[in-house]
Amino acid sequence: QITLRESGPTLVKPTQTLTLTCTFSGFSLSTSGVGVGWVRQPPGKALEWLAVIYWNDDKRYNPSLRTRLTITKDTSKNLVVLTMTNMAPVDTATYYCARFVSALPVVAAFDVWGQGTMVTVSS
């Protein structure tokens, strides 16, 4: 069974750095074609892709947030960490991590998602 779980602070102050951890099980991030990504969703709004890290340590970021994001992985511990600097109230959202697969039987999609973690940015 594949599971992903997000963890991190529920409240951060403006200008602070957010650090979120995605802990997963049931797959390995050293398997070719596999990645883990982050997606967020402000209350009542659409999904926004943030970043993804692949099995080969390749990383992709949302261009509009590129300067604020860093994604890393620890394959031995089955976890992926996302940091976002200079947080502001507009960054208040539910943050999801999800497994990305680019090999059969699923191609180029997030096939399993965590339940999400709500982060509020407020002083």
Partner 1 sequence: EIVLTQSPGTLSLSPGERATLSCRASQSVSSSYLAWYQQKPGQAPRLLIFGASSRATGVPDRFSGSGSGTDFTLTISRLEPEDFAVYYCQQYGSSFGGGTKVEIK
Residue ranges in contact with partner 1 by CB under 8 A: 35, 37, 39, 46-49, 52, 60, 62-63, 96, 98, 100, 102, 106-116
CB atoms within 10 A of CB 41: 15
| CB-neighbour burial class of residue 89 (10 A; exposed 0-12, middle 13-18, buried 19+) | exposed
Identify which of residues 43 and 76 has a Cβ nearer to partner 1 in the complex: 43
Minimum Å distance from CB 100 to partner 1?
5
Three-state DSSP at 62 gives coil
Identify which of residues 11 and 107 has a Cβ nearer to partner 1 in the complex: 107
Identify which of residues 35 and 82 has a Cβ nearer to partner 1 in the complex: 35
Minimum Å distance from CB 24 to partner 1?
14
